[in-house]
A = this chain, B = another copy of it.
Amino acid sequence: MITAENVVGLVVGEGCFYVESCPDSRYRLGWRIRPAFCIEMRAEEEGVLEVVRDLLGCGSVYHLDFGRYSGYEKRGWLPHVKYRVTRRRDLDQRVVPFFRQYPLFGRKAVAFEHFAKLVEILTAGLHRTPKGLDLAKEVADRLREHNRRGLLLGERTGTKT
């Protein structure tokens, strides 16, 4: 059995709270901010991620065979599977409350605080005004900066999966 507290430990090791924050003309103020939560593991661990999905009650599990994984076999990488939540309502009503109830620890707890703040801003719709958008961008930058400092050279250059 995988418990909620097990999931917390797994997320400290393997989970990622991240955000896309970039210009996008399809958005009213010309800027897109999309937070997401994911855990990536070896393909054999699909069952583990399915339990995580069920415990969190949202998101989906899918196999990676595109993007930086395209042709991974040729590069000697093993197949991976990803659990991801992007739907804002799920982030607000499932993911954030889950990690409030079962707290994270270490650096990941800091990433989560930026993430939760961002989800709160977006859920309240504050980003629809220029001033609120600036605030959202600022929090998004803080989260990205935190995650960036967490990356190793291998990851930056794509040699780590």
Chain A contributes a number of interface residues (CB within 8 A of B) equal to 36
Whether A160 contacts B150 by the Cβ 8 Å rule is no
Q: A3-B5, A13-B12 are in contact. Are A45 and B107 (CB under 8 A)?
A: yes
Interface check A47, CB cutoff 8 A: yes
Determine the distance from Cα of A135 to Cα of B84 in the docked complex, in whole angstroms. 43
Contact residues, A60-119 vs B (CB, 8 A): 75-78, 103, 105-107
Query: A38 to nearest B CB, angstroms?
Result: 13
Interface check A124, CB cutoff 8 A: no
Determine the distance from Cα of A2 to Cα of B106 in the docked complex, in whole angstroms. 10
Whether B159 contacts A154 by the Cβ 8 Å rule is yes
The residue in A9, A45, A51 that gathers the most chain B C-beta atoms within 10 A of its C-beta is: A9
Q: A45-B107, A48-B105, A48-B106 are in contact. Are A153 and B9 (CB under 8 A)?
A: no
Residues of B within 8 A of A2 (CB): 105
Q: Which residues of A contact B (CB under 8 A)?
A: 1-3, 5-14, 41-42, 44-45, 47-48, 51, 75-78, 103, 105-107, 150, 152-154, 156, 159-161
